[in-house]
Amino acid sequence: MSTNPTDRVIPTWFITGANRGLGAAIARAALRAGFNVVAAARRPASVEAALGGDHAGKLFAVALDVTDAAQVRQAVDGALARFGRIDVLVNNAGYGQLGPFEEIADEAIRTQFDTNVFGLMQVTRAVLPTMRAQRAGQIFNISSVGGLAGFAGASVYCASKFAVQGFSASLAPELAPFGIRVTSVSPGFFRTDFLDNSSIRYGDQGVADYADASSALRSQYDGYSHQQAGDPDKLADALLAVAADPRPTVHFVVGADAMDITRQELDRVQADIATWADTSAATAHA
C-alpha cells in the first residue's frame, strides 16, 4: 500500500477519537504529510478546534460515537462520498476504566467494552468492504502496554486492551490475502489527557478492603497526569513511518517504557512455562 501523497491517489486516513490526545496528534501528522484525513469524534466542532481549518479540503470532520451502529455507517459513507476511498483506519477512540475490580459495577464494565472493543470492531466492520475492494489497506488498532501486561487497579481496562490485541492478531492473517495489514499499537505512557477526568473513570462501588489501594491509585495517576515521558507528536510520526514501511508487523510497541514492560512480561511468561513444563507436557493421551 502506498502512503506517498505524491502518488496519483492521495491516501485517506480515517481516525476515530481525533479531537484530542493521540488521535489529534496522528491527524495533524497525516495532514502535514499531505494526506486526506477523516477526523471522527462525538463532536465535530471539537475536531475543528483541535486541528483548525479544512487544510485545503483535506480535513473532513465527522460526528462519530463508535458505539452507535447507524452513526458508524453514516461516518464511513460520508468519508467515501468525500474522498472515494479509505486507506488507513486508526481505531483510537477509547477511555480507561480504573479501580479494583470489585469496585467496578457490571454496567461500567460493559460500557468499557462497548467503546474499547465492540465499538472498535464496529468501525472495522464498516471499513473492511472498501479495503477489500481496494485490495489494500492498513488498520491500526490503538491498544496499550496494558494489553500486553496487567496492572493492579486496571483489570477492566487491561482486559479490554487484551481483547484488542487478540482481535488484531487474529484479524491480521484473515485479511492478509486481501492486501490489508493489521497492526496493534501498544503505547506506554504518553503526555495526553488520558490520565485526567476526561478520559479516566474510577469504580464507585466502594469496598472497605480496597480503600487504601484505591486512594493510592488515584494519587499515583493524578501525579503522573501530563508528566508522562512520551511525546504524542513523535508517536504520530512513527505511525506514519510504520504505515509506509513494506514490512508488515502485527505488533508495534511504542515507547521505551512500553518496551521494557513488555520484555519483562515476556520473561515472566517464559519463566511460568519453564516452571510447569514437565507437568504441561505430560497432558497428552498416552
Q: How far apart (Å, rounded) are the C-alpha atoms in residues 181 and 137?
A: 6
Angle at Cα 188 formed by Cα 185 and Cα 193, nearest 5°? 100
* pLDDT for res 56: 78
With contact defined as beta carbons under 8 Å apart, do 168 and 141 qualify?
yes
pLDDT values of the chain reduced to their tens digit, one per residue, 286 residues:
555 544 568 999 999 999 988 999 999 999 999 999 999 999 988 888 888 877 879 999 999 999 999 999 999 999 999 999 999 999 999 999 999 999 999 999 999 999 999 999 999 999 999 999 999 999 999 999 999 999 999 999 999 999 999 999 999 999 999 999 999 999 988 776 666 676 778 888 889 999 999 888 888 877 666 667 778 999 999 999 999 999 889 999 999 999 999 999 999 999 999 999 999 999 999 8
* pLDDT for res 219: 82
Q: How far apart (Å, rounded) are the C-alpha atoms in residues 4 and 239?
A: 14
Cβ-based neighbour number of residue 63 at 10 Å: 16
In sequence order, the 6+-apart residues with CB closer than 8 A to the CB of 262 are 145, 148, 149, 186, 253
* pLDDT for res 135: 98
The CATH code of the domain at 12-274 is 3.40.50.720
* pLDDT for res 200: 77
CA distance to 115, 116, 166, 201, 220, per residue, from 102 (Å): 21, 20, 25, 14, 20
Which of 224, 139, 240, 241 lies closest to 188, judged by CA?
Answer: 224
* pLDDT for res 238: 94
> Catalytic pick from 58, 144, 155, 157?
157
> Catalytic pick from 144, 161, 210, 221?
161
Which of 227, 268, 270, 236 lies closest to 254, judged by CA?
Answer: 236
Helical axes 106-113 vs 155-175, angle rounded to 10°: 30
Q: How far apart (Å, rounded) are the C-alpha atoms in residues 250 and 238?
A: 15
95 is catalytic: no
pTM of full prediction above 0.85: yes
Residue whose entry in the numeric block shows the C-alpha cell 497432558: 283
With contact defined as beta carbons under 8 Å apart, do 27 and 39 qualify?
yes
> Catalytic pick from 143, 144, 168, 184?
143
With contact defined as beta carbons under 8 Å apart, do 200 and 194 qualify?
yes
Pairing of strands 251-254, 88-91: unpaired
234 is catalytic: no
* pLDDT for res 247: 85
Q: Which residue ranges make up each domain of the chain?
A: 12-274
